[in-house]
Every structure is written in C-alpha cells, then in structure tokens.
Structure 1
Amino acid sequence: MNYTPLLLSLKIASIATIIVFIVGIFLARIIARNSFPGKNVVESIILLPMVLPPTVVGFGLLYLFGKNGIIGSLLLEWFNFQIVFTWIGAVIASVVVSFPLMYQSASAAFQNFDLNIENAALTMGASKWKVFWTISFPLAFPGLLAGTVLTFARALGEFGATLMIAGYIPNKTETIPLAIYFAVESGNMEAATFWVVIIVLLGFSSIMWLNWWTKRNILRFSEINDKR
C-alpha cells in the first residue's frame, strides 16, 4: 500500500490549519471588536465558502490562480511558477474552504468574555499586545482550539475545490479524498475502503479528543469554583 495520500493529506491539512489559525484569529479579533460600515458584507464574504458547493469555490480559485488568472498569470510571468496542479493549490483550497469554521469559532470566542476586563488592563498601562496575549487569548482559547480542530478535520477531508485547482496527480496532489474517489472509479474497492477507514478514524479521533478536552476543562473549572 502506498501511504503517500496519508502523508500528503496530513501535510496539507497541517499547513492549512496553521495559516487559517493565524489569519482567522487576526481577522476575528479585529472584526468582532469593531463596528464599521459594510461589516455584514465582509463577514458574509468570509463565510460564503461554507455554503457554496466546493466546485464553485474551486472554480473561483482557478479564476484567480490559473495560468490566465489574475494572480496566476502574474506568478507565471514574474517567477515562472504556477499553483495549479501542485500541492500548494491543495493547501489554498483547504484554507479557503475551512477558514469560515475558524473565523466563526474565533469570533464567538472573542465576544464571549467581558470587554471591561481588557479595558481595565489597558487603563493600568498594559499595551494592547500584552493584553491580547495575557488576557484575550487565554480567555478565548477554548473556542480557538475548537475552531482549530474543526479546521484541521475539514482541511483533511477537502475534495471538490482541491480537485478543481490541484487535480489528481499520483504522489503529488493525491490526498486521501482524491485517492478514495479514483480508487472507486477504477474499481479498486479494497484501496477505497482502506482510505475511508483511515480518514474516518482521523476525523473521529480529532472530534473525540476535542470533546474530551472540553469536558475535562469544564470539570476542572467546576472543581475550582467548588473549592472557592
């Protein structure tokens, strides 16, 4: 059995999760705590990939990153580099499709605690950066962790947009979902079943761990309150 789809899927999902985690927290922090004209429009655009068919998202990525696309043509002209039919394209597809999950979780997490806690720290002379890392981030961490796990699981299972922009190239862009689809297409049900079991176990393990961590911390918080 060739385990390249597993290694490639873990690589793509991990890189996508790191990107989504950083950008998602940054945008959620700014948008959640500020009001500005067009805020609803901006949030609707951010969440749009959640409701669109993955093939539509993939078409949009092709329009941007294809050889004749707005960004793709510039990359090809300036750096002689193309994103289409590469694992980098699969990373971009995973980032776009999974980003709404992280944004929603991060936005809710930052709105879930009292803003006066941050304001009190600011009035005592703490910088915004210090307030974020010592107050905002720890208080929002449970929601951020949930968003991160869901992002990883979603990126791991991305299929439609990945197929559109990265294509199916064995040992190069062959993620687990693509391996399953083309194994079924070729009648190799044994390989398809193997990869189905693997991705189900990965997704199940991620969600189980998140539920265990959440319940453990709720229990710990209850024990601390009881002692007080």
Structure 2
Amino acid sequence: MQFLSPEEWQAVALSLRVALWATVLSLPPGIFVAFALARWEFPGKQLLNGLVHLPLILPPVVTGYLLLLTFGTRGPVGAPLAELGIVFAFRWTGAALAAAIMGFPLLVRAIRLSIEAVDPRLEQAAGTLGASRLWVFGTVTLPLILPGILAGAILAFAKAMGEFGATITFVSNIPGETRTLPSAIYAFLQVPGGEASALRLVAVSVVIAMAALLLSEVLSRRIAARVGGA
C-alpha cells in the first residue's frame, strides 16, 4: 500500500517545487542585499534593512494581502505583467513568490552575518594587487561566505516549505495548483475523516525539515573545512 494518496503526493511535490524555486530565485538578490547591508554605507540603508525584515514582523496574512494588492491582475505591478501573460495571483508561481518573500529575511540575515565575519583586510589586500571589486568578491569573499549562503538557503527553503498565511491569502488553496503541504494539512483537518491524511503530511513535513537541516550541517562543515584548508 502507498504511504500517501495521489492527492497527498501532489501537495508534497508542489511544496518541494515552490520551495526550490523560491530559494533559487532569492539567492542572487539575497547575496546582493546582504553584501550591501554588510559593506556599504548609503542613504536609506536602515530603511532597506527594515523593509527586508518586515515580513518577519508583519502577520503573514498581511503580507499575503499586500502581495495580492500589488501583484493581483489589477495591481500596479500585476496588471502590466498580466498583459504580458505573467500572472502570480492564484497560481503556483504566486505561491513561490510569497514563499520567497517570507524566507528572504532569513536568507539575508545568515549571509550578512557571514560577510561581516570576513576580515575586510583580505579583500583590501586583493584589491591592492589590481583585482576589480567583482573579482575580489568572486575569488575571496564568496568562497569564505559559502557556509553562510548555504545556511541561509536552507533556512529559506524550510520557511518556504512551511509557509501558510501569506500563501493562502495570495493564491488561495486550489488543489493541484496552489495547495502546498500546510494548505493541504489545513484542508484535511476541515473535513470529517481527514485527520489521518493530515497526520501523514505532518510526518512528511517533519522528515523533510530534518533532512534539510542535517544536509545543511554536513555541507556547511565540508565547505568550511575546504575553505579553511585552502
């Protein structure tokens, strides 16, 4: 007998898809913002820092509603995108967007702390040898902050897997389209006899979260050892 029903597998597969895309698409801007906050001084720096961490403070439902107002088909951003055939509201892509925004503060914070731990004199020494800033970042800074990037990515992935409030507000709970693991658990708990399905999905959630954390620990240690021995 299969452990999960087709409907349950569908929710698991969609959650993994959403979490993976949310994490991958968050990495480039996350690294850039973390570096800017850690190394640069510019007007509005504290405002940017506040905006980055705002999803951690706001209720997730508020974040989801703001996303709906902004990226809905009548929103200031969503309307032009809809004319180009790009729609986020009530689509799995919207679930990925919501998950990415909710996990972005965790990603940026982990990477920023890693960057701040790097001795700036190492970067300055490379700069005095004629290397460009981009080359210094790619050859000196980036290898040293890889454990922080990995830790931030794992945290963002785990947050994306468990995101519920912003997702259900922005993209609803549509089976096969936006019903992720948390939404499926909620839906099963609302119907008689659905407790068994909800419990199975809870078990899957715990297994995935623990596997992600263990993988993060193993890879972080290997990367740190490799960087330290370089």
Q: 2:216 is aligned with what amino acid?
A: L
Which TM-score applies when normalising by structure 2? 0.90
1:193 aligns with 2:175: no
1:177 aligns with 2:165: no
Classify 1:212/1:79 alpha carbon distance in 2 versus 1 (closer, same or farther; 3 Å). closer
Shift of 1:82: 2.9
Shift of 1:6: 1.1
Aligned with 1:40: secondary structure? helix
CA distance in 2, matches of 1:95, 1:75: 18
1:157 aligns with 2:162: yes
Which TM-score applies when normalising by structure 1? 0.91
CA distance in 2, matches of 1:138, 1:163: 38
1:6-21 equivalent positions in 2, closer than 5 A: 6-21=12-27
CA distance in 2, matches of 1:84, 1:17: 19
Instruction: Pick which of 61-70 and 150-159 moved more.
Output: 61-70
Classify 1:81/1:214 alpha carbon distance in 2 versus 1 (closer, same or farther; 3 Å). closer
Note the alpha carbon deviations across 1:200-222, whole angstroms, 9 max, x for none: 1101111122234445667x58x
CA distance in 2, matches of 1:155, 1:184: 21
CA distance in 2, matches of 1:153, 1:160: 15
Shift of 1:126: 1.4
User: 2:89 — aligned with what?
Assistant: 84
1:43 aligns with 2:49: yes
Equivalent residue in structure 2 for 1:145, among 134, 150, 166 = 150
Q: 1:88 is aligned with what amino acid?
A: T
User: 1:65 — aligned with what?
Assistant: 71
1:121 aligns with 2:143: no
Note the alpha carbon deviations across 1:117-176, whole angstroms, 9 max, x for none: 111101101122221111100111111111011111111111111101111111111111
Aligned with 2:117: secondary structure? coil
Equivalent residue in structure 2 for 1:24, among 20, 27, 30 = 30
Aligned with 2:179: secondary structure? coil
CA distance in 2, matches of 1:80, 1:135: 41
Question: What is the RMSD computed on CA atoms of the aligned residues?
Answer: 1.8
Contact 2:14 2:180 in 1 (8 A): yes
Note the alpha carbon deviations across 1:172-213, whole angstroms, 9 max, x for none: 111111110000011311110111000111011111222344
Shift of 1:81: 4.5
Aligned with 2:109: secondary structure? helix
Instruction: Pick which of 181-190 and 126-135 moved more.
Output: 126-135
1:195-210 equivalent positions in 2, closer than 5 A: 195-210=201-216
Identity of aligned residues (%): 35
Q: Which runs of 5+ in 1 are unaligned?
A: none
Q: 1:160 is aligned with what amino acid?
A: G
Note the alpha carbon deviations across 1:98-133, whole angstroms, 9 max, x for none: 000011011111111111111110110112222111
Contact 2:147 2:223 in 1 (8 A): no
CA distance in 2, matches of 1:75, 1:107: 32
Q: Which runs of 5+ in 2 are unaligned?
A: none
Classify 1:80/1:16 alpha carbon distance in 2 versus 1 (closer, same or farther; 3 Å). closer
CA distance in 1, matches of 2:165, 2:12: 18
Classify 1:117/1:14 alpha carbon distance in 2 versus 1 (closer, same or farther; 3 Å). same
